[in-house]
Amino acid sequence: MKRVLVALLLFAMTLPAPVPAQPAPSSTDVQSLLDARAATIPGAGIAAALLDHGKLTTYLAGSSGTARPLDAQTLFEIGSVTKTFTATVLARMVLAEEVSLSDPVAKYLPTSTHAPSRDGKQITLLNLATQHSGLPRLPSNLRGEAGDDPYAAYTVDNLYSFLNRYKLTRDPGAAFEYSNLGFGLLGLALARRMNTTYEQLVRSQVLLSLGMNETALALRPVDRARFAIGHNIDGDVVHSWDFTDAFAGAGGIRSDLNDMVKYLRCNMGQGPLAEACLFAQQPRDTFAGHEIGLAWWTNTASHVIDHGGDTAGYHALVAMTADRSKGVVLVSSGPAITDIGAHMLDASYPVMPPAKTATVPTVQLDQYAGTYANAPVGLTYTVYRAGDKLYARITGQTAAVIYPSRPDHFYYRIVMAYIEFVRQGSNVVGLILTQGGRHIPVYRLDANGKPMAATLTPVYPPVVALDRSALEEYAGIYAILGTPTFTVSTKGGQVFFQVTGQLPYEIYPSARDEFYFKVVDAQVTFHRSATGIVSGLTLHQSGRDQDAKKQS
């Protein structure tokens, strides 16, 4: 679950097919990777486990952030991995014939609540569990989304009120849209079917059967000392998240490594709930390079089965190979861990390099400080310097550090979003927020509160003309450590760049072998061999350079 801004994932760690298949990396290598990643956020920690053909290896790196040392009983928020618990509950109830996947969710809601439908098609439990409900990611009446604890005050009555007013824009089952709202509704409906709360439901249906005695939603006072302090990607300590039954099924669970290993074993086909765990994983629909079961995603290239989770200060991942001979679970109180989890499954999966930032003198950072606004879209920015960092705060949200990649260009680390400051002469007169393929102009206000510019447009390098035969040289598949990761194609004199499992986006030539995106602030440099043949590329994005060799 994400806060602040919803991101376009141009280069997110996917789980591509390893070519050729490689063994898991050595425990020494994994520990080194985890130590290095944990060190990027002082006070944060990572706990991880690899189950490889029955052999369990566990890892600890960093700190709990409290007086209690980090160990396998340290508690973490697992965010959207909670959705797989909700899916396991659903699977168990289906197998027990207590519900059917084809049941409309309206069957389990109060008669006074109107569950949206369209053209006579109702939202089913299956639609909710496969993220094909037609419901949006979040309800429009979630007023606390930008706060430190965004879901804590959102009640079941708030959810019912939203459902009573919402009109579906497409038929249920027609298309994938990741919806925290949908899974919150699913958890609530299942709890109502069993006349209980979501927490009691998941405990009775899953936790007790697996002996997960330290896993819960609400922390007892005795648990507080074991709860790791969460950090955002900027390294700031952040508030933990609490959930009412309206969203508990989407992201409310806290757990420790010991319990999550028990859950991993279930999803690898072991133990008393193996039938339900495996039933939940069965693919039932598709989207963007993936199949989806009840919550669980299966990559169509690698066939890895996984689900991750993110809250403001925590990350989690559970993933298994297709034959379920190897599985990993990782929980973190700050550092990202998805790429390391994939690497633990197979050594050919690439690990993200550390981000690097350009150096900008503090006197130059002061040039950007000010108030920026776009009244029609209701967006107001406050930009200010604190120490050697530049912060941007959208009104009603918390401030976030923005990092320089080159002059006048900055990027967020907490989301995939970018800010380009626009100048007239030497004066900064506005900024362009780029996110999700959209460019939003935000005008700098003068001392009288008036915009300093009439129009703002993104500043792109001039597009150079390259003939079609030259463009064809770039087409092919590019691999990182032997894993096909990028595909470059041409059509009608245009060049398209695609990350495995994502949509292709056009890239534009600014010079021979130099291209840039318009949907995100990213660039591609192609490399040539000594004989002049295109042999590889480097993707520059968010302070990271990813090198890939051309395979074909």
**Residue 356 predicted with pLDDT over 90:** no
Per-residue model confidence as pLDDT tens digits over 24-59: 688 999 999 999 999 999 999 999 999 999 999 999
Q: What is the pLDDT of residue 25?
A: 85
Tokens 């037609």, located at residue? 134
pLDDT given at position 4: 32
pLDDT digits (tens, 9 = 90+) for 398-419: 788 999 998 999 999 877 889 9
Burial of 544 (0-12, 13-18, 19+ CB in 10 A): middle
What whole-number distance in Å separates Cα of residue 4 and Cα of residue 12? 18
Q: List, in sequence order, every residue forming a beta bridge with 509; answer none if it has no partner.
A: 515
Backbone angles phi, psi at 495, to 5 degrees: -115, 135
Q: Looking at residue 478, what is its pLDDT?
A: 94
In this prediction, residue 19 carries a pLDDT of 39
Q: Does the pLDDT value for residue 311 go beyond 50?
A: yes
Residue 363 pLDDT class (50, 70, 90 cuts): confident
Query: What percent of the chain has a predicted confidence (pLDDT) above 70?
Result: 95
Write the DSSP string, 97-146.
Answer: TSS-TTSBGGGGS-TTS---EETTEEPBHHHHHTT-S---SS-TT-TTTT
Cα distance between residue 254 and residue 523, in whole Å = 39
CATH of domain 468-550: 2.40.128.50
Question: pLDDT tier at 479 (50, 70, 90 boundaries)?
Answer: confident
Residue 145, pLDDT > 70, answer no
Please indicate whether the domains covering 362-444 and 468-550 agree at the CATH topology level: yes
CATH topology of domain 362-444: Lipocalin (2.40.128)
DSSP state for residue 351 in the 8-state scheme: P
Distance CA 44, CA 234 (A): 11
Most confident of 100-104, 308-312, 515-519: 100-104
Mean pLDDT of 368-387: 94
**pLDDT averaged over every residue in the chain:** 91
Q: What is the pLDDT of residue 40?
A: 92
Residue 18: pLDDT over 80: no
pLDDT at 300: 86
For residues 402 and 413, give the distance between their C-alpha atoms in angstroms, rounded to a whole number: 7
Q: Quick: pLDDT tens for 68-95.
A: 999 999 999 999 999 999 999 999 999 9
How much is the pLDDT for 9?
A: 30
pLDDT digits (tens, 9 = 90+) for 189-236: 999 999 999 999 999 999 999 999 999 999 888 899 999 999 988 888
* Domain 27-345 indexed as CATH 3.40.710.10: yes
Q: What are phi and psi of 123, to 5 degrees?
A: -75, 125
Q: Which residues contact 111 (CB under 8 A, 6 or more apart)?
A: none
Cα–Cα dist 425/13, whole Å: 39
Pairwise CA distance, residues 216 & 202, whole Å:
9
Binning pLDDT at 50, 70 and 90, where does residue 397 land?
confident
pLDDT at 3: 32
All structural domains of the chain with their residue ranges: 27-345, 362-444, 468-550
Res. 346: pLDDT tops 70: yes
